[in-house]
Amino acid sequence: MTRVLVIGGGQNSEHEVSLASAAAVTAALREVGHDVRGVTISREGVWDAAPDAGKAGPLAAAMPLLAWAEVVFPAVHGAPGEDGALAALCALAGVRVVGSGLRASALGMDKHATKLVAAAAGIATARGRVVAASDIGDVEFGGPVVVKPVSAGSSYGVSLVRREEELLDALRTAASFDRRVLIEEVVRGREIDVAVLRESGGVRWAAPPLEIHASGLFDTAMKYDGTARFSVPAALSSAETSALTRAAMTMFDALGCAGVARMDFFLTEQGPVLNEVNTMPGLTAQSQVPRMFAAADVAYPELVDRLVRAAVVPGAGS
């Protein structure tokens, strides 16, 4: 039995999604026998362990909780949290944490930085550019594009722009989530996710790929309103599966990920094109990552148990 602190919530648009992940993780870890406590970070950044502690409340409340825990499970999606903020806190406290460390989390959260790492690793991404929120009025329309915040998850602020008159609104929407906006060419291909898990012994492996069936953009509404349709394992040739798995493992290693990470690809006629990386993906039993590992005969409670067993104290370079 391990003392596990599960952290949910957060100060971002993914707050409710994070609460669902945290609740599911808590229940599963208790099912397999761990001693679990939970804490929620409000949208204002206050930890519910000390709601009246003033401005110092968030950090002050964390200290006794971190001292109690043997492992921290940060089920927080988005920033601050998934961007490495919680991993850094655990590193300073010397506490083992589930998932990637500061560097990998920060790089994975930043979609532009992820593209630069992918290019260096020889993995294709959509051609695109970053503009500052203050410059969105000067952007010219050059054909269909996808507009997204550089650092946001769950497809919040993402728009598919087909006509020139739609561009400014899409840019404004993305800029409401981040001061930097990524504009990418549209990639035509099947949407395939690959999840990579690093076990406690250091061995990492990829679960069977999952295909997302969506007409148009796989946006926030479709992700959470129950209309999304998934196939797992995806109907792929052995060569396609190998190419996707190889690209996912390469990105996992290039970023320095730990725990579990989900790599989202477009499978085109030229091969896999990386869309983005999630270092703390959704973790309800019905989320994409647990679905993929279930297809590999790893049940949800076993998956989160493996993540706890693989937790390490984040190092200075992690």
Q: Please list the active-site residues.
A: 14, 154, 224, 262, 264, 276, 278, 282
Q: How many CB atoms lie within 10 A of CB 141?
A: 15
- The whole-angstrom separation of Cα 317 and Cα 314 is 8
What is d(CA 36, CA 1) in angstroms, rounded to the nearest whole number?
Answer: 10
HEC profile for 229-271? EEECCCCCCHHHHHHHHHHHHHHHHHHCCCCEEEEEEEEECCE
215 contacts: CB under 8 Å, gap ≥ 6: none
Helix (H) or strand (E) holding 124: strand 124-125
Beta-strand relationship, 124-125 and 271-278: parallel
